[in-house]
Amino acid sequence: MIAIENLSFAYKRKPVFSGLNLQFTSGHVYGLLGKNGAGKSSLLRNIAGLLRPKGGNITVNGFRPFDRLPVFLQDIFLVPEEFYLPDIPVENLIQYYTPFYPRFHKANFLNYLSAFDVPADSTLQNMSYGQKKKVLISFALATSARVLLMDEPTNGLDIISKSQFRKILAQALDEERCVVISTHQVKDLENMIDRVTIIDEGKILFDQTIEAITRKLSFRFAYDDADVATAFYTESLLKGNLIVGPNYDADESKLDLELLYKAIITSGDKITKLFQS
């Protein structure tokens, strides 16, 4: 669905990333993790055709994004971190923008708004940033676009709204849709994604499925010094240590994305070797 080969991009003389190779397929939710400025937003905008690559190739559903063909645009939607919505009633938003998306499902849109506790008869001008973001997310899901890109979608949402977001996204998923979510708030993505891609300073540090991660790595409390010594990453607590270590015994443990991210940033080479074995 999305094929990225040897991709490079730069803002004038400032390189952002080079030599990126990634594949995103339908039926999955991908977590693109990294700190601010790592290149996540630029990658999403390259995929959406809003930025032109300096080198390499991107194809999305067989199209080159920067050509911006209507048949391509109607099947992809980017929810940016920073956005503008006109000061109009929600009903007018539907009227003006749905012609660009032939498979837009109004009933789904209204259901998503209801789940977010946003009145469908309200006006965007009277909404907070968080409410506007809920409207944009609801609209994005209702377009039925097969490629959905979301850049820091939980920024501006309170704790209850983040929970609502996860439930709504789960309802909107199907085998034909590919969702790529970029965030540095890794806890917000737990229990949602199928594959983790960690990007730092324009390079892919880690790219694995959740199944592979939990098979190879163990996330647990450790009290024994020898156990801590073999860990890739440790975090001291009052009652012991949280660790990320090799899963030699094939024990099941719950994925902790925050710990995984810290482990990759601090011990990426060691973990990469483990996944190559």
For residues 151 and 59, membership in a common domain is answered with yes
pLDDT for residue 183: 86
Cα dist from 6 to 103, 180, 199, 264, whole Å: 33, 19, 15, 22
pLDDT for residue 248: 83
pLDDT for residue 113: 95
The 8 Å CB, 24+ separation contacts for 157-160 are 157/130, 157/133, 158/130
Q: How many CB atoms lie within 10 A of CB 248?
A: 9
Report CA Rg, the chain: 20
Q: Are strands 203-209 and 178-183 parallel, antiparallel or unpaired?
A: unpaired
Under a CB-based contact definition with an 8 Å cutoff, are residues 186 and 265 in contact? Answer: no
pLDDT for residue 213: 93
For residues 214 and 196, membership in a common domain is answered with no
Domain end, chosen from 169, 201, 233, is at: 201
Q: Which residues of 139-162 are buried (b: 16+ CB within 10 A; e: fewer)?
A: bbbbbbbbbbbbbbbbbebeeebe
Torsion of CA 205, 210, 211, 216, to 10 degrees: 40
pLDDT for residue 240: 81
Helix locations, the chain, DSSP H: 40-48, 70-73, 90-97, 106-115, 129-142, 159-172, 210-216, 225-229, 257-276
Q: Name the band, by pLDDT with cuts 50, 70 and 90, for residue 184.
A: confident
For residues 157 and 194, membership in a common domain is answered with yes
Q: Are strands 203-209 and 217-222 parallel, antiparallel or unpaired?
A: unpaired
pLDDT for residue 131: 94
pLDDT at 251 > cutoff 80 = no
pLDDT at 238 > cutoff 90 = no
Q: Are strands 195-200 and 178-183 parallel, antiparallel or unpaired?
A: unpaired
- For residues 1 and 112, give the distance between their C-alpha atoms in angstroms, rounded to a whole number: 26
- For residues 141 and 171, give the distance between their C-alpha atoms in angstroms, rounded to a whole number: 10
**Structural domain harbouring 79:** 2-88+145-201
For residues 13 and 61, membership in a common domain is answered with yes
CATH of the domain at 56: 3.40.50.300
pLDDT at 38 > cutoff 90 = no
Residue 94 lies in a domain: no
Q: Is 190 exposed, middle or buried (0-12, 13-18, 19+ CB in 10 A)?
A: middle
Domain end, chosen from 201, 234, 266, is at: 201
Domain end, chosen from 201, 231, 248, is at: 201
Which range is least confidently modeled, 59-63, 67-71, 226-230? 226-230
Residue 125 lies in a domain: no
